[in-house]
């Protein structure tokens, strides 16, 4: 999308410069042709593939019923995150999210009080955490490691401190990591 926007921007700038430096340059082309080619054909050729790409990219974020991805619940409240693991006997931990590498994970996001937003910049776009409603975000981390997460919707005086750590474990270590993090009461300061 950035490349497409850069090409468009360059084309507009070229037209702009031609108007300034070569007055009358475009007058050989009739106004109707400018409108049809520049106003209809060009946007259609560029925007339709971009819309198709955006729809496909968005579709990949949706949970697919055929798969049974790891499900993790993210519950926001002023001003902390609770992560709950229904597949691991409902274990919970605060401000630390463990997830396995290399497989899709569905984060089911909700809130106990006001609207927050769940965001791990290096893994996915943000999604709102709405009280009384569940929003889903499918993410996948290809490599084990540590990532930073942050509430991305102003939610009160403690908003800036409402961050969390994301620990991506090797798939074989994931269950043990969740159990030890939950029992140790792992809390990120």
Where does this chain bind Cu ion (CB under 5 A)?
116, 151, 155, 159, 162
Nearer to Cu ion, 9 or 154 (CB): 154
- Cβ atoms of 34 and 26 closer than 8 Å: yes
- Shortest Cβ distance from residue 36 to Cu ion (Å)? 48
Nearer to Cu ion, 87 or 161 (CB): 161
Supply the Cα-derived Rg of the chain in whole angstroms: 24
Nearer to Cu ion, 71 or 80 (CB): 80
The closest of 122, 113, 115 to 140, measured between CA atoms, is: 122
- Shortest Cβ distance from residue 20 to Cu ion (Å)? 47
Give start and end residues of each alpha helix (H) in the chain.
Answer: 2-21, 31-33, 42-59, 174-183
- Shortest Cβ distance from residue 27 to Cu ion (Å)? 55
* 125: region left, alpha or beta (phi > 0 left; psi from -120 to 50 alpha): beta
- Shortest Cβ distance from residue 83 to Cu ion (Å)? 16
Nearer to Cu ion, 140 or 147 (CB): 147
């Amino acid at each position: 999308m950035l490349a497409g926007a850069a090409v468009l921007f360059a084309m507009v700038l070229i037209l702009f410069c031609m108007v300034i430096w070569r007055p009358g340059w475009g007058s050989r082309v009739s106004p109707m042709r400018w409108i049809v080619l520049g106003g209809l054909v060009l946007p259609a050729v560029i925007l339709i593939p971009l819309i198709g790409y955006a729809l496909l990219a968005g579709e990949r974020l949706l949970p697919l019923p055929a798969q049974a991805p790891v499900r993790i619940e993210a519950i926001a409240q002023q001003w902390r995150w609770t992560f709950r693991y229904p597949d691991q006997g409902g274990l919970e931990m605060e401000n630390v999210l463990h997830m396995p590498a290399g497989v899709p994970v569905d984060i089911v996001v909700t809130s106990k009080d006001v609207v927050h937003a769940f965001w791990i910049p290096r893994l996915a776009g943000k999604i709102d955490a709405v009280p009384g409603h569940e929003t889903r975000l499918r993410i996948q981390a290809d490599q084990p490691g540590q990532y930073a997460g942050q509430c991305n919707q102003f939610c009160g005086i403690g908003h800036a401190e409402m961050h969390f750590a994301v620990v991506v474990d090797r798939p074989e270590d994931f269950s043990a990591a969740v159990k030890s993090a939950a029992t140790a009461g792992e809390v990120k300061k």
